[in-house]
C-alpha cells in the first residue's frame, strides 16, 4: 500500500507546458475566472519559476493550492477557486 496522497479531482485542466513566466500564471487566472467558486483547476507547467508564482498567487488571491507535484520536468498544481 502506498503512502502517497492522491491528487484532488479537477473540474478543469490547463496545459501551460512550454510557456515561460508569467504566461502559465496569467492563463491560470483567466481559466479560474471562468470557473465557479469552489471549482478545482489542474495546471500543468514546465517553467521552474511557476512554483513560486503559484504559491504566491494562491496565498494573495485567497485561492487554495490543494496539491502540487513535480515529475519529469512537469510541475502540476491543483487550485481551488475562492
Answer yes or no: is 61 within a domain.
yes
- If one counts every other C-beta atom within 10 angstroms of the C-beta of residue 35, the result is 15
Q: What is the pLDDT of residues 7-66, one digit of tens each?
A: 789 999 999 999 999 999 999 999 999 999 999 999 999 999 999 999 999 999 999 999
Q: Which residues are catalytic?
A: 21
Q: How many helices (H) and strands (E) in the chain?
A: 2, 4
Answer yes or no: is 1 within a domain.
no
Residue 67's pLDDT band, with cuts at 50, 70 and 90, is very high
CA dist 52 to 1, 17, 36, 38, 78, Å? Answer: 32, 16, 25, 23, 14
Range of the domain at 32: 12-80
The strand pairing partners of 68, in sequence order, are: 77
Answer yes or no: is 43 within a domain.
yes
Structural domains of the chain, count: 1
Amino acid at each position: 500500500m502506498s503512502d502517497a496522497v492522491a491528487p484532488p479531482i479537477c473540474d478543469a485542466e490547463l496545459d501551460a507546458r512550454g510557456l515561460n513566466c508569467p504566461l502559465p500564471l496569467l492563463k491560470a487566472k483567466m481559466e479560474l475566472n471562468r470557473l465557479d467558486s469552489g471549482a478545482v483547476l489542474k495546471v500543468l507547467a514546465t517553467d521552474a519559476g511557476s512554483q513560486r508564482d503559484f504559491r504566491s498567487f494562491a496565498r494573495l488571491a485567497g485561492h487554495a493550492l490543494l496539491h502540487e507535484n513535480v515529475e519529469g520536468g512537469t510541475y502540476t498544481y491543483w487550485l481551488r477557486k475562492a
